[in-house]
Structure 1
């Protein structure tokens, strides 16, 4: 049985109360002997359960007595037979009787079947905002006043956050910059990016997005949804989590490779450079010969182990290209897929190659 400093008589408050709708504190209430739980973490909803019965959901609201520490949550069951749940909450130290923990609320619950339970309530731990927003790619799904492109692979506005750096695609150009997380607020630094010109509506979408994606933004979201709302007021930006990127299973045609002379160049006319990653093996065409070898990848890190090739001889220029391409490939340390394009870099930040998808 729970023990607390709230006398039972306080449930029936003698002095008249001036009740008013209040912001519900997110609470998880519980009791022992018998065990039960009341989840009040979602505004307007309550979920009551015991080990021997299914969860029953109620829709309602909380009223707080002005100037006092008592409040009442009252709601109707959403089941066909209805019924009212009433939870009398008292802000004050409460012991659950099973541990040394002291909880901030005591509670008495009345159910539609006439049963009553007493116990304590705890405040759930605040979610880790960084775990919500970081290390995933978010695709913009709602931009106030603008219609977004439906071609998600090539034209979707995307953003990614990792270790204080953000980057993405703003509708026409790539952008990058810094950010900090201060509680549930995302603070963006000055953003930079490429400076291409694109046909409409790409430019107007980009302009509107970058205007909203700046300064301090409140962070909210759950599961696969993210909402960023300007702290100073304004319509929110809504995002959806992109499916995790996968290096394996796709075939890629190289559109540019590092020639070893601090330049990324296109393959020679009449030659094809291709890649395929599958089951820890990388293979493809290096312009003259076929190559193969093993690789390891963890998150966005990539290691290409020494490669072997067939022994065909081609024109000197094609062989020079082949040697440069294979040397570049073996220097890879990171990978990403941006707007459907494979983008591989080495440890010093220099680009190794870019490649477009050849389909499955």
Structure 2
């Protein structure tokens, strides 16, 4: 029994197919968006150094990013950042984010603002045009599509930042340059068929080129005919980019790189240990009250009853205790905790 409790590991479900937002071709960039924070960074205003956070918006389809500066972790600052993004990129159909507990880890400021942010954002931006979806708590792996780009943004910020505490105007300029740098990264391998053909980048869907400035053409006499021709060229170029996206990029993200095997799903009544970053002996134990299957039918989220209340966690964070012996599994766990078989489990 000691080995079961101290050596149990989560049963990670088989990797699901990619969601529709990652596979939606021929859509406007930033139609499906993931949002996250990184920071804080210190900027100089006069003689004072103040904190600034970076709000990252990621297009789930073409993997482009948009960066905004937030002055605090308050609800109002977050709403203003989202409104600036919508004014420049258009209203998205769906916005994905986690519930904030992994923005700054144990940051007390963020924990205090967490519930207000979730409730206010849902009320403000959930309408007939935009739907806000929150991932379960403590599941950063469910937001890997934007967590990976946060790393790229941090690396670029460390590369471009020349001073420890830049001015606010300098910091905003650096952010825009980081945005352009990350959006010019190749999504696919460099093609070898044509020497003049560039590797596909997010900027191709935003400005029809990777990063070079397109020189304006001279205006001819018949402007109306030229406008029709230019519009046709733009549509043809976008169509060509999307065909390359389907042909070159989709196959690279459709492959499963881990979690190939099927695992026994969580069931109501299972005794589990909630895996976290603390010491294993301090992990909270509980009982599964309710399971939430994904679109593929596999259980990926569950509600767990603990001594401190009901917690919602991903299946990848729950280690099932397959305790066998006299009586039920609940009685066996209580026997392990107290030395006597009782009517129910002793939860922590």
TM-score in same-fold range (> 0.5): no
Which structure carries more relative contact order (alpha carbon 8 Å, separation 6+)?
A: 2
Instruction: Kindly indicate which of the two structures has a greater share of residues assigned to strand.
Output: 1
Q: Classify the TM-score, shorter chain.
A: under 0.3
- What TM-score do the two structures reach when normalised by structure 1? 0.22
- What TM-score do the two structures reach when normalised by structure 2? 0.22
Instruction: Kindly indicate which of the two structures has a greater share of residues assigned to helix.
Output: 2
